[in-house]
Structure 1
């Protein structure tokens, strides 16, 4: 039964070859548009994820501010100062915290035998290197032994190495920070850097050695990695520090919390919205192709009116006629869909990488947009194609099935 119906559908398509080919091309173009737009949306989302992943995601930074709300007997405008005791309380009392690390920085004169610059130097512990995903291209990172021994060693950024030592090997070379000699033990791998951002010009020395340059009693910030819900961890931090320093947890100016996962979640919402918009645009394009298919099928019904009358006179039921024309529409949609998906793959491989973050940041090629067609995208596009093809074919098929056999036989 079904074999005969599809056979009739294929025969009708061959009989009107040119019309069928044009319709198939329209459907292929529509489905290719859907796939490529979804691939672009997915590529945009992956690019955003890549930008955040270079710094790490499950981490939170806390930085001191000034109160803007009265709390207890304290007036607004009180400076909040963070200490190592605050860091220890966070580590001990807040569930989900994995590592905590202090950060104290100062802009100093950095000198080598070739050049002198004013750059920021941070006193850190080894845990901060793990939290911020710092990796070396040559040499090594700071160790706990460096902290325990108050070693005068420094790890420098890739751009700092280029500016201080040009093409020379920097490992083992001396640099002077505020006139104090330090030995370079590591050069960090380059990260994506926007404009005048100094992310690759940073210098890092052991936290204990930082006392030679700046008083480290009060911290510039506390970084931590964690497991669990980012909002729960942030709220717990605000509550604990509020109780310790006498400010309300709701006072957003008392401390600034850099919640990376919250920022990433906001970008994910934007990315999801973009993908939905692109799917809607692609579906409209495919819908236009579907209207073309519907029009062609309506013409086919009109041209084959006598044929339908003969089939009904020979005993064909309404459902047989309906299935015959619907199957023809679905076959056209299926062939066009296969060709459109194949075209989308060809275009995605041909286009390759689309400039995105590399236009803003040095070394940002990894965060450019790539048209990656996933099985999920193909599935969504196929479902959209089936819906459009069914709707486009159903209207002409219903019209054909309702024809009166006597009137159909009289049709000239």
Structure 2
């Protein structure tokens, strides 16, 4: 039998029972769509996390001090002294707190950070208007502030806040800069905050001492040695028998761990979705067996007029593959659409990997072949005399 003729006969059989054919391939559709959507969203989420970590720089170390006894922080001078260590290019201590900011009748609770000028370089956070905090502001405890774009919009509306005054916990500050829009990160919104000089923040928050600071290393290769230096020095200050009294967070380690975790999650999601492909394959096999039973007399007639065993085998196998291929194509379309829709709803970018698309479609074809062989072989083995006796 000519191959194209076998395809035409198989396709005619499929379209003559549209509802049954659709219900047959539904499992394949769900399986392919699930594989593409879940794996793409998993990879997109992993990429989003990696981008957030990369924004902080893979040649940075974040130190958090938990303390020992009554001493639970470093002084500002002690923290800035680490800038003299070899291979450290900048140190950015931060003091954080929640304050009430007010402009006229508008007020809101907002996160406040006390910073030094190197914060701009270490955190890669700049102003879109005005100026950044300078060393003179820190030395003289100036009441100046940088304001995030979201906070500025809530307190000042469409008016530029630069040069205006703002009341923070009852104290008047002059807004000298409007921060660039950064969006949200793992730590929350970067646009809903106020930055002031760290010395001013110590007085405003009545919270002297530094518990968190970031150091920037001159080269990624020196990160480990700088971490060891910091660890040795901090152990002298804070270590106890049960605890070091501090943690040092390596951005590169976080990046590596994130990549490893997201790879495992994507594989697990793909495996779970792949189960529905197997279920779809079972559905195809079941319907094909029913089809063989329904068309037994047809098979007998075809064999009686000269159709060979391989012709019957090819016809039913092609029908099975066409069913799974149709389900795969529909599943791909739904999967791509669902990926972009859900990524927009969830608020992160997810791109569809064509490697995953090809893998999912190939697997659906493989399922069609595997689960189509048994019913096709059963049809091919029917004897013409037995098949013709069936009413």
Fold match, TM over 0.5? yes
**Would the aligned equivalents of 2:10 and 2:315 in 1 still touch at CA under 8 Å?**
no
Residue aligning to 1:63: 64
1:375 aligns with one of 354, 357, 364: 354
2:378 aligns with one of 399, 402, 410: 399
CA distance in 1, matches of 2:275, 2:369: 15
**How far has the Cα of 1:219 moved from its partner?**
2.8
Q: Which runs of 5+ in 2 are unaligned?
A: none
**How far has the Cα of 1:255 moved from its partner?**
0.8
Is 1:327 aligned with 2:296? no
CA distance in 2, matches of 1:118, 1:295: 63
CA distance in 1, matches of 2:352, 2:189: 34
**Would the aligned equivalents of 2:11 and 2:322 in 1 still touch at CA under 8 Å?**
no
**How far has the Cα of 1:393 moved from its partner?**
0.9
Residue aligning to 2:228: 236
CA distance in 2, matches of 1:306, 1:180: 92
CA distance in 1, matches of 2:120, 2:291: 70
Matched residue of 2:362: which SS? helix
Is 1:172 aligned with 2:173? no
**Would the aligned equivalents of 2:148 and 2:190 in 1 still touch at CA under 8 Å?**
no
1:128 aligns with one of 102, 119, 134: 119
**Structure 1 residues 271 and 399: alpha-carbon distance in aligned structure 2, compared to 1, 3 A threshold:** same
Q: Which runs of 5+ in 1 are unaligned?
A: 68-75, 357-365
Residue aligning to 1:39: 37
TM (normalized to structure 2)? 0.71
Q: How many residues align?
A: 385
2:196 aligns with one of 198, 204, 213: 204
Q: How does 1:284-295 map to 2 (within 5 A)?
A: 284-295=275-286
Residue aligning to 1:363: none
Q: How does 1:113-124 map to 2 (within 5 A)?
A: 122-124=113-115
CA distance in 2, matches of 1:389, 1:114: 68
Matched residue of 1:284: which SS? helix
Residue aligning to 1:245: 237
**Structure 1 residues 389 and 191: alpha-carbon distance in aligned structure 2, compared to 1, 3 A threshold:** same
1:338 aligns with one of 326, 329, 334: 329
**How far has the Cα of 1:127 moved from its partner?**
3.0
**Would the aligned equivalents of 1:231 and 1:262 in 2 still touch at CA under 8 Å?**
no
**Structure 1 residues 139 and 315: alpha-carbon distance in aligned structure 2, compared to 1, 3 A threshold:** same
Q: How does 1:2-401 map to 2 (within 5 A)?
A: 4-15=2-13, 17-19=15-17, 22-24=20-22, 26-27=24-25, 30-36=28-34, 38-40=36-38, 42-43=40-41, 46-47=44-45, 50=48, 53=51, 56-58=55-57, 59-67=60-68, 79=72, 81=74, 84=77, 89=82, 92-93=85-86, 99-104=90-95, 122-143=113-134, 153-158=144-149, 160-162=151-153, 165=156, 168-175=159-166, 182-188=173-179, 189=181, 191-192=183-184, 200-205=192-197, 218-225=209-216, 228=220, 236=228, 239-242=231-234, 244-245=236-237, 247=239, 254-258=245-249, 275-302=266-293, 303-304=295-296, 307=299, 311=303, 314=306, 316=308, 321-345=312-336, 353-354=344-345, 356=346, 366-367=347-348, 373-401=352-380
Matched residue of 1:329: which SS? helix
TM (normalized to structure 1)? 0.68
CA distance in 1, matches of 2:75, 2:139: 22
Structure 1 residues 321-379: Cα deviation after superposition (integer angstroms, max 9, x where no partner): 5444322211222123223323444556677733x4xxxxxxxxx44xx7754423322
**How far has the Cα of 1:155 moved from its partner?**
1.0
Deviates more, 1:329-338 or 1:218-227: 218-227
